[in-house]
Amino acid sequence: MQPKLFVGHNDLSVLNSCVELGITVVTDNLTHRVHINNIVAKAHKQANGAFEFESKNSSSRLRSLFVYIRPILEYNSILWSSHYKQNIEAIECVQPRFTKRLPGLRLYTYLERLKILPATILGLH
C-alpha cells in the first residue's frame, strides 16, 4: 500500500511514472522499461505508416527509417540509456523488422539484408 501524501489539507496523488520532455524519466521501479516500451511502440507505428503511405520505392522507405523512425528511438538516449539486455533487444528489433518488410528481402537474414542494402542509406558509412 502506498503512503498518502498531503500538502496542507490537499491529498496528493502518487504517480507510477513521470514524463518530462517526451521521456518517461522516473518510474516506480526506477527503470526505463516504460519509456523503452513507449518509444518502440511509437517507432513500429511510424514504420507501419511508412509502408502504408510511402511510395513503393525501397530507397524512400529506407530514408523514412532514418528520417522519422530512428530519431524516435535515439531521442535523448543519453538520459535513458539502458544496460538491460531486454531493453536493448526491444530497441534493436525495430530496424531488422523494418528491413524485412522491404520488397524482395523477406527471405534473407538480417545480416544478409545489411549486405544487400547500401551502407550509406543504413547510416553505416
Q: Is 25 exposed, middle or buried (0-12, 13-18, 19+ CB in 10 A)?
A: middle
Beta bridge partners of 27: 17
Alpha helix locations (H) across 17-76? 33-53, 58-64, 70-74
Q: What beta strand segments (E) does the chain contain?
A: 5-7, 10-12, 17-20, 23-27
pLDDT in tens, 55-105: 677 777 888 888 888 888 888 776 667 777 888 888 889 999 998 998 888
Cβ neighbours around 20 below 10 Å, total? 10
Residue with cell 524482395: 104
Is the model's pLDDT at 42 over the cut of 90?
Answer: yes
Interacting residues of 89 by C-beta distance below 8 A, sequence separation 6+: none
Query: What does the mean pLDDT of the chain come to?
Result: 80
